[in-house]
Amino acid sequence: MKTKPPASEEKSTVRTYDLVLEYLKGQILEGKLTLGAKLPSERSLMAELGLSRNSVREALRQLENMGFVRSAHGQGSFLVNEAGQGFSSILSMMLLLRQSDREEFLALRESLESAAYERAVRLAPPQPIQEMEQAVQSMEQAQEPGQLEEAECRFHRGLIEAGENQLIAAIMEALSSQGDLYRRETLAQLDEATRAPLLDTHRRILKALQTSDAPLGRAALAEHFKLIQ
């Protein structure tokens, strides 16, 4: 059944791109649109939603800016999923404005990395695990705080990548600026008594992924976050 808002709809408080987005969501749920599929023509959307050509074009432009639509000259518009970077940027700004404290931030990071780990230990993708192994070797050889920081960052990025969850990856990317700041502060204050057990938690997480030993890595990850509190 077609949904045709009255002519006054475009003057209402409802944003035009919301109307088009809701229509596309309905088409996806009904299995009529899939990722990469060509969208209905502007004329079809005008008739289906009761909107003017200018309103439809503006809505498609907004959705393209959001990363849900890609337009190709002479070919039409296509459904895509390129919203991750925009989502990360928005969330990053929200976190900066929110000014969450260190404890709150680390609690969120621990939850996300724990979720990524549970998937990673089950999936065991070889490439990210190999990158984590190289990161551990770099951490062991690091002589300067900056070297240790860079290697530790690569290790945790590898863990997120190994979890193969795009949403977790997008949120962690949004957290990266604040995370880098806290990491720098933590590692700069490390003494030998703390550095050794912290490095050992990374070794155990890596070993857990290599051997599919879920409890080993789970305990090591929990200990890791206790050490950096």
Instruction: Please name which of 6, 4, 74, 83 lies closest in space to residue 41, comparing C-alpha atoms.
Output: 74
**What b/e sequence results for 211-229 when a residue is b if at least 16 CB atoms lie within 10 Å of its CB, and e otherwise?**
eeeeebbbebbeebbeebe
Strand partners, 76: 72
Cite the residue boundaries of each domain of the chain with CATH code 1.10.10.10: 7-79
Per-residue model confidence as pLDDT tens for the chain (229 residues) = 455 554 444 444 457 878 888 999 999 999 999 999 999 999 999 999 999 999 999 989 988 888 889 999 889 999 998 776 666 677 667 766 776 678 888 999 999 999 999 999 999 999 999 999 999 999 999 988 899 999 999 999 999 999 999 889 988 987 887 788 889 888 888 888 889 999 999 999 999 999 999 999 999 999 999 999 8
CATH architecture, domain 7-79: Orthogonal Bundle (1.10)
Cite the residue boundaries of each domain of the chain with CATH code 1.20.120.530: 85-227
The CATH class that applies to domain 85-227 reads mainly alpha
